[in-house]
Structure 1
Amino acid sequence: MKLDILVIAVHPDDAELCCSGTILKHIALGKKVGIVDLTRGELGTRGTAETRDEEAAESAMILGLHVRENLRFRDGFFQNDEAHRLEVIKAIRKYQPEIILSNALEDRHPDHGRAGDLVYDSVFLSGLPKIETTLDGEKQGAHRPRLLLQYIQDRYLKPDIIVDITDYMDTKIKSIRAFKTQFYTPGVEGLDTYISSPEFFESVIGRSREFGKNIGVTFGEGFTSRKLLGVDNLFHLK
């Protein structure tokens, strides 16, 4: 299946926290959007890999994703090396997206920055015909998306572009709450962690408000880009 937008996230719930409003908006616009999670988040303090699988599937239904799969890299121990790049390249060539959204290049969690660099390198390499990959026994063609953006995670980074997600904020919150074992959910027991407190959840909403304020709307999601972004009509800018 060819996708318009492919979100690559190192942990299930990264996409929901950081760019689910953008996902929802573009699906509403008729675009095909999918998520490839790199790991099952098996090192997370709360829940298990199995519960995370279930939560990711529930969230995928809330978002209306066209596809969601998991490459099952080792949480915490994957590397930006040839073997992992080839797997990401296969996923890019499989879905042939126009746009990829990936993890922040700098963040508190070391997996995030490492995954951001892994995807950045793989996007470039995916466009080289001399790198040969196969899927289900058939040779894949080279493909390089025209745009790669990184969503902003725990550490605040100045965005290069902000997407208005005001109409989709309620559903974004529902998709995050699907990860019941990860975030604050009354009645769900578990060890207290940085992300399981009510304050963390409120900070996610506050970040969306802050981004929205900067473009004159209620809620927004911010992205960074390693390349300069262009527009062919100034009136498309807020």
Structure 2
Amino acid sequence: MNFLGLPKGIDFPLTWRILRMVSAHPYWDLLRLLWPFPWYLRHSLPLPRPQAFAQDNTLFDTRNPLIPQIRLVPLFRARDSPIASFYRIYEAMCARDGPAIGSETQYFWRRPEAQWALEGIPDPRDPDPVRYAVLASLMEAMVDAFNWRLELGLRRGGKRWVERDDDGTPAPFVPEVMPAWAGRVPALEDELIIAEGGTGPRFGARNIIAFEGDLRTV
């Protein structure tokens, strides 16, 4: 760690070059990435309810401006947190934005640090039962999706493909573990439709209609 509480080795020149390319206000955005320190960047809370994204199809982009480009910024990656990325996936899911779900999930998958293990995602303790049910279902679906990738032979952090045995047996791997809090969140009494025709089993178990396939892009 340096005196700002940031990991050593951050490429600040690259951070500045990317910000100058993608941001209309690079100085301001650099300041936002540095403050407050030494804490991780926080996602804006409370999260919108799922219905809010159906009412405003610009809400995800408004709350997460230029996120595909910002994720390339070394300083942002150093200060980003698993819970913030998880919340971005929640928002993309509620917005029914398949490319955003896939790219943010891939970003999460490629973070090899121990603190990015799914088991370590803290309990959101969301007071809104609808949001809480969606978050719990999403967490369960992410664990399923990550273990599916591991069984295929993919490894977190962008490591090379691990071949199966000749008989098709998957190469040994340490599975992602479900956070205990997810299993304690009850189903909704009234059906919630995030995506018409959605067949995601983890969401369906909580009376939520949504797709899970975008979590499994490889």
TM-score w.r.t. structure 2 length?
Answer: 0.29
Identify which of structures 1 and 2 has the higher relative contact order when contacts are C-alpha pairs closer than 8 Å and 6+ apart: 1
| More strand as a share of residues | 1
| More helix as a share of residues | 2
Which has the larger Rg? 2
